[in-house]
Amino acid sequence: MFKLWFSLKFLVKSTFKRLTIPAFAIAALITGLLVACQPQEVVESPSPTATPVVTQTPVTSNKPVAFPDRELSANPAQLPQLPYAANALEKAIDAQTMELHHGRHHQTYVDNLNKALAEQSNLRSSSIEAMLRDLNNVPENIRTTVRNNAGGHLNHTIFWQIMSPTGGGQPTGQIATEINQTFGSFEQFRKQFNEAGGNRFGSGWVWLVRNPQGQLQIVNTANQDNPIMNGLYPIMGNDVWEHAYYLRYQNRRADYLNNWWNVVNWDEVNRRSLASRQA
Ligand SMILES: [Fe+2]
């Protein structure tokens, strides 16, 4: 490299000496030539058609929903285990209903979703929540199937977590304070929540959500729609499909809604509420 530099310097100096070019200009010219001769680092742009290899659920959002710390995998969707025995929630829900609800209904949502996504490797690498937040990304021929079954999988995954055999009673922690501030009292909140669940015509869910302004709200959704489809964070929700209560309560949805408070897991509701504030 030095040999090349001196050769170039001599050549350029002898050529430009007669043209009265200043020495500093000659030096700058030589330096520029040498720099141009250096090998350059090549930064490759990712191919726009490359399909990422996914070994685990990627972080597609900083807003976990299925669990307070992570979103729900679709690669493949899997039935979560119940965090208690099927007969553990007898204070509100009988064992046979729990077995059918979890082992048949929820399993069917999982199976139908995996079937619909079998040829959709890009979608599978997304999370359930990401799919539901942007259903327009789902091909039209499977969009309704994904909406119903991804929603069913997400809703029930949340549902099992926010119930507990040791649940019930008055709310605790931060959510208790916020419920009082927002609705006046726990009794008022429970009344409005039950009314919203009772008013949902046909099948659906009733939810306590946090809206984008950070406020608590009660909403209900049809079928298996989840509040994240409307930009709302689901903190707790009750399933008002007949499959959730009919064996014990028959047509008495209001009785089911009243008894359900005996198994609400306030610890988990608090964790979800905290996650919703951080989202
Ligand atoms: Fe259900």
Q: What distance in angstroms lies between residue 222's CA and the mean position of ligand 1's atoms?
A: 12
Single out the residue of 150, 73, 70 nearest to residue 110, CA to CA.
150
Q: What distance in angstroms lies between residue 105's CA and the mean position of ligand 1's atoms?
A: 7
**How many whole angstroms separate alpha carbon 242 and alpha carbon 254?**
12
- What residues contact residue 120 under an 8 Å CB cut-off, 6+ apart? 139, 142
pLDDT at 146 over 90: yes
Lowest mean pLDDT across 16-20, 164-168, 235-239: 16-20
pLDDT at 272 over 50: yes
pTM comes to: 0.78
Q: What distance in angstroms lies between residue 73's CA and the mean position of ligand 1's atoms?
A: 19
- What residues contact residue 269 under an 8 Å CB cut-off, 6+ apart? 162, 171, 175, 208, 235, 236
Q: What distance in angstroms lies between residue 184's CA and the mean position of ligand 1's atoms?
A: 30
What's the burial of 150, exposed, middle or buried (CB within 10 Å: 0-12/13-18/19+)? buried
Overall average pLDDT of the 79-96 stretch:
98
Q: What distance in angstroms lies between residue 40's CA and the mean position of ligand 1's atoms?
A: 60
Residue 268 CA to chain centroid, in angstroms? 17
Q: What distance in angstroms lies between residue 268's CA and the mean position of ligand 1's atoms?
A: 19
Q: What distance in angstroms lies between residue 106's CA and the mean position of ligand 1's atoms?
A: 7
pLDDT at 113 over 80: yes
pLDDT at 178 over 80: yes
Q: What distance in angstroms lies between residue 136's CA and the mean position of ligand 1's atoms?
A: 25
Count the neighbouring beta carbons within 10 Å of the beta carbon of residue 31. 11
84 bridge partner residues: none
pLDDT at 55 over 60: no
pLDDT at 9 over 80: no
3-state SS, residue 205: strand
In this prediction, residue 4 carries a pLDDT of 42
What is the average pLDDT score of the chain?
84
Q: What does the block give as tokens for 210?
A: 């946090």
Q: What distance in angstroms lies between residue 101's CA and the mean position of ligand 1's atoms?
A: 6
Q: What confidence tier does 62 reach under pLDDT thresholds 50, 70, 90?
A: low
Q: What distance in angstroms lies between residue 103's CA and the mean position of ligand 1's atoms?
A: 11
pLDDT at 31 over 50: no
Overall average pLDDT of the 32-43 stretch:
36
Q: What distance in angstroms lies between residue 6's CA and the mean position of ligand 1's atoms?
A: 82
Q: What confidence tier does 176 reach under pLDDT thresholds 50, 70, 90?
A: very high
Q: What distance in angstroms lies between residue 247's CA and the mean position of ligand 1's atoms?
A: 13
pLDDT at 129 over 60: yes
Q: What distance in angstroms lies between residue 239's CA and the mean position of ligand 1's atoms?
A: 6
Q: What distance in angstroms lies between residue 27's CA and the mean position of ligand 1's atoms?
A: 79
- What residues contact residue 233 under an 8 Å CB cut-off, 6+ apart? 63, 65, 209, 210, 227, 275, 276, 279
pLDDT at 59 over 50: no
Single out the residue of 174, 160, 183 nearest to residue 101, CA to CA.
160
Spell out which residues have Cβ within 5 A of ligand 1, the ion. Answer: 239, 241, 244
pLDDT at 81 over 70: yes
Q: What distance in angstroms lies between residue 50's CA and the mean position of ligand 1's atoms?
A: 38
What the chain holds in terms of domains, given with CATH numbers, is 2-29 (no CATH), 95-278 (3.55.40.20)
3-state SS, residue 230: helix
Q: Is-contact 260 91, C-beta < 8 A?
A: no
